[in-house]
């Protein structure tokens, strides 16, 4: 596995995050944001192929080697947006680009819509909009979330007797991945415990959202994008064949490029990473 990165810890005003740094210090600034329950290793194949850019691949809060949020706090999608902005502030980046996969792509769109003056370019991989919910379903969703929070203390993370068992479990998880991709994610995402290994991720990440943006809210963020935006859609990904997404993208400023592969096409194998890199190399360096 490639070690072509520098490991750093970023002490923000409210939390400490871990990250991998790729590329020259004077390269074009890019923050890379992984998907739900993944970590910075999501970009282990792709980042070294994006020459000329300075990539900060974060472990988002509660993931990988980053801190968990304090007791009583939650993992609302807009809290990640705040974290990302604080990271940019720490690096002194007034303007920067975002490279986001899945949930990381969603966070990227929200930040670019909220503060368009800060974002130069958006490079998105199989992700655009958050899951949405309409007003009539909000009371039920909040009730379900509250009950899940109350029950969390009685639940225990799975323990895998062998590293390979954890890798196999990740291969079958949400957004199924190749064995090699699962190994990348597991190397960073596992920690030893009595009896074997378990995931470092905060258990609260699996709780249902107490409140979701409506579709109108989510679409408003997409419509407000003003920077060049390129989306790589995976032919066998999680967004394939979604009629509503197709309708949204047709009326948006987002340039769509469809490529063969699954939801983690940028990590599953080297050919997939090359395909995604070819979509973003010149794009991220353009004036």
Nearest CA to 234 out of 118, 121, 105, 84 is that of 105
Residue 177 near residue 262, CB atoms below 8 Å: yes
Res 247: pLDDT: 82
Q: Which residues contact 45 (CB under 8 A, 6 or more apart)?
A: 2, 184, 266, 267, 270, 272, 273
Residue 1's pLDDT band (boundaries 50, 70, 90)? very low
Q: Is 2 a catalytic residue?
A: no
Mean pLDDT of the chain: 95
Res 240: pLDDT: 78
pLDDT digits 0-9 by tens, 15-72 = 999 999 999 999 999 999 999 999 999 999 999 999 999 999 999 999 999 999 999 9
Place of tokens 């409210």: 14
Res 176: pLDDT: 86
Res 224: pLDDT: 94
Residue 242's pLDDT band (boundaries 50, 70, 90)? confident
* Domain residue ranges in the chain: 6-133+213-285
Res 174: pLDDT: 79
Spacing of C-alpha 179 from chain mean position: 20
Res 202: pLDDT: 98
> With b meaning 16 or more CB within 10 Å and e meaning fewer, what string describes 70-99?
eeeeebebebbbbbbbebbeeeebeebbbb
pLDDT digits 0-9 by tens, 103-130 = 999 999 999 999 999 999 999 999 999 9
* Residue 85 confidence (pLDDT) above 70: yes
Res 3: pLDDT: 54
Q: Which residues contact 205 (CB under 8 A, 6 or more apart)?
A: 36, 37, 62, 63, 75
- Residues in a beta bridge with 28: 53
* Residue 229 confidence (pLDDT) above 90: yes
* Residue 280 confidence (pLDDT) above 70: yes
Q: Which fold has domain 6-133+213-285?
A: Rossmann fold (3.40.50)
* DSSP states along 132-151: ---GGGHHHHHHHHHHHHHH
Q: Which residues contact 119 (CB under 8 A, 6 or more apart)?
A: 95, 96, 97, 98, 108, 111, 112, 227
- Average of pLDDT values for 253-273? 96
* Residue 262 confidence (pLDDT) above 50: yes
Residue 252's pLDDT band (boundaries 50, 70, 90)? confident
Q: Which two tokens stand for residue 268?
A: 């599953």
Among residues 74, 102, 178, 209, which one is catalytic? Answer: 102
Q: What percent of the chain has pLDDT over 70?
A: 99
Whole-angstrom distance, CA of residue 138 vs CA of residue 155 = 25
- Average of pLDDT values for 74-90? 97
pTM: 0.96
Residue 166's pLDDT band (boundaries 50, 70, 90)? very high
């Amino acid at each position: 596995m490639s070690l072509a990165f520098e490991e750093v810890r970023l002490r923000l005003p409210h939390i400490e995050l871990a990250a991998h740094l790729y590329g020259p210090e004077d390269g074009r600034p890019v923050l890379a944001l992984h998907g739900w329950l993944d970590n910075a290793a999501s970009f282990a194949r792709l980042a070294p192929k994006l020459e000329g850019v300075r990539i900060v691949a974060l472990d988002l809060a509660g993931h990988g080697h980053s801190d968990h949020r304090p007791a009583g706090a939650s993992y609302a999608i807009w809290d990640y947006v705040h974290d990302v902005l604080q990271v940019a502030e720490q690096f002194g980046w007034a303007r920067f680009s975002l490279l986001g996969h899945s949930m990381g792509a969603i966070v990227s769109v929200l930040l670019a819509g909220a503060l368009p003056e800060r974002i130069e370019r958006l490079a998105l991989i199989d992700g655009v909009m958050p899951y949405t919910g309409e007003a009539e379903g909000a009371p039920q969703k909040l009730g379900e979330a509250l009950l899940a929070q109350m029950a969390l203390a009685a639940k225990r993370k799975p323990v895998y007797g062998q590293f390979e068992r954890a890798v196999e479990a990740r291969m079958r998880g949400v957004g199924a991945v190749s064995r090699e991709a699962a190994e990348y994610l597991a190397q960073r995402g596992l920690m030893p415990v009595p009896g074997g290994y378990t995931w470092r991720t905060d258990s609260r990440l699996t709780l249902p959202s107490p409140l979701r943006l409506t579709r109108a809210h989510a679409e408003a963020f997409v419509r407000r994008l003003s920077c060049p935006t390129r989306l790589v859609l995976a032919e066998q990904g999680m967004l394939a064949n979604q009629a509503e997404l197709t309708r949204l993208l047709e009326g948006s400023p987002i340039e769509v490029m469809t490529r063969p592969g699954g939801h983690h096409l940028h990590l599953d194998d080297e050919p997939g990473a090359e395909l995604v890199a070819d979509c973003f190399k010149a794009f991220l360096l353009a004036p």
